[in-house]
A and B are shown apart, each in its own frame.
Chain A
């Protein structure tokens, strides 16, 4: 039997919260099971009685109301051809809407191919894909080997050091501008460029990372952090029984050797 669906909140003093998630290009940028990230967000909201609304926005579509109303934006990874289509679309069709959303405090999580599009550009040999310009970084496709494997990083999002574990698989090397903060420090694996010892980027509520696997199932705590930030909550979310989540996190860390 599936888990009982939580009763809808009707009698609360404050209006019932709903997390509105805008999934960017979910039919194209989904190569490393990105829907697992969205599933974590959905279930962890539902189990707490928080509403969950998913707004998919595809190629050629203006962000429109999603840009004004969504609390959290998600973009995953895709094949080269699809990533190129999305890069152009992000830069030409959605750029202003995303900048406005982030400026009003919406959270954004970009994973792998999506992460590579957050900065100025992604150079692929002769070709250069535009970035959406949310953070100061650029990515260059390397002639060297793809950086593949289990990975663990140490991050501090303000509550002390914690670990994120996942899997990385990228040909691009991402270089952060001088004022930009990485998401974390590599414990095991390659990270942004295989050399700097840093992984991902974080500026306020914007997070970019190469960690897939997918990321949130292996690190349920980050799903909760995103939900809380996106909803503008300062107090921690109601705890859930995370026996399975903790075991999967430990297992993923062990796979990475951390």
Chain B
């Protein structure tokens, strides 16, 4: 009876999605789910409950989509059928839409749910999904107008962990003190982290956020800083220190925008496997993607995936939507690197700065709700890394002028800056000016618009496919 009721609601929600898509209203990635949630507030729990292997959830400020893509690459290689919000729609509506798309009669087409979850929606979605494993990757300063302050999110996450820690195994980044501390009183936590002195930054980046001990409030001391506030830290007052991770990246080698390599080491977990080490050739660039790969490896290790299959899956991962994805424009390639907050943008900029030649950039700053209406963050990101490294930057988006100004004050010669707010004109202008790879740095809604534009021209699949 209840199943039939849900079935009828699913049919209505699907019909709405079909109509919306025919009317050309974007990809309709979250609309059907929103309709379903209105008809049946616990639809996510009901549908996720049909998954025979349950669900795993991933949250972080940066890297959710890519980490989930890496987990999918590892699991799908070995034949696991996933229900996965691949397009990155990671609030309740998007996750409900994903489950809706997989529902078949009273069952579901898939074995395991793999969901990236918006950090602000995590509590509500963990309540519904009851994930077996929860991977928490990092917390960085993000869209303050939408999310409030960082410590507030950390407190909220601590409540989630307190409520669900007994049933849900945590997979935590040991190098992020805000995240690692969530595991303080939890059993069975799998920690991951980087151990490579050569990757340490000479000083803390400006955008660093977590500077004070979660337990006693004293300033942390860092023996090594890798990325933002991620690194090897300890509190000189209360003695809290980075937990020793079981899943580790060593001997990291960054290869510009093309990829990275590192030695993946997983400690002996007492199940007879012993310690295991292998080199991973990662086709995605930057230390931030090494962190994403570590998180994915730790989650899959917690799911019992054999070590060799983790390594093979990571080596075959394709770029997620707009995350170092390269699309051919015909005469030149377009490499798309999402930027949405200072920490994430810094890693993209650090990676771009490794290119041997001066680069052409199409930078798109929007201030729509999903980007954050407040564009202050571009002044926290280290665009100084581009000074002297760019041949041309075409600035576009609703706040194109602000971005151009930021670049001028970052030390980019104004003569190298072109402002073309409208995206399609900007793309054409940037494309026609120069050769070699064009690097697009869009904010979130700019990424969606860019992708739709490319799809319309037959250069990329539509993003909801």
Interface residues of A (CB under 8 A from B): 1-3, 27-28, 30-33, 35-36, 39-40, 43, 79-82, 146, 148-150, 167, 169, 212-214, 217-218, 241, 243-245, 247-248, 250-252, 255
Contacts and interface: CB of A to CB of B under 8 A. Distances in A.
Contacts of A28: 211
Contact of B376 (A1, A2, A213): A213
10 contacts: A1-B413, A3-B414, A28-B211, A39-B409, A214-B379, A244-B405, A245-B405, A247-B419, A251-B399, A255-B373
Interface string B369-390: 0000111111110000001100
Contacts of A27: 211
B52 interface: no
B161 to A, nearest CB: 20
B111 to A, nearest CB: 42
Nearest to B148: A146
Nearest to B380: A33
Nearest to A78: B149
B379 A35 contact: yes
Contacts of B144: 31-32, 169
B379 A33 contact: yes
A2 B413 contact: yes
Give the size range of B's interface with the partner. Answer: 35 or more
A35 B374 contact: no
Contacts of A218: 402
A252 B377 CA distance: 14
Given A150-B373, A169-B374, 19 more contacts: A1-B387, A1-B413, A31-B141, A32-B374, A32-B376, A35-B206, A36-B376, A36-B406, A36-B409, A39-B409, A43-B409, A81-B217, A148-B145, A149-B145, A218-B402, A248-B401, A251-B402, A255-B367, A255-B399
Contacts of A169: 144-145, 374
Contacts of A148: 145, 373
A146 B144 CA distance: 12
A2 B411 contact: yes
The list of the 9 closest CB pairs from A to B, nearest first, reads: A36-B379, A2-B411, A33-B379, A247-B401, A33-B376, A248-B405, A251-B401, A33-B380, A2-B387
Interface of B: 141, 144-145, 148-151, 206, 211-212, 217, 342, 367, 373-380, 387-388, 398-402, 404-406, 408-409, 411-414, 417, 419
Contacts of A3: 411, 413-414
B150, B342, B409 interface centre (most CB from chain A within 10 Å): B409
Nearest to B376: A33
A212 to B, nearest CB: 6
Nearest to A148: B145
A173 B419 CA distance: 38
Contact of B373 (A80, A149, A214, A247): A149
A79, A146, A148 interface centre (most CB from chain B within 10 Å): A79
B402 to A, nearest CB: 5
Contacts of A241: 414
B151 A79 contact: yes
Contacts of A212: 374, 376
A74 to B, nearest CB: 14
A167 B399 CA distance: 13
A76 B439 CA distance: 34
Contacts of B149: 31, 79-80
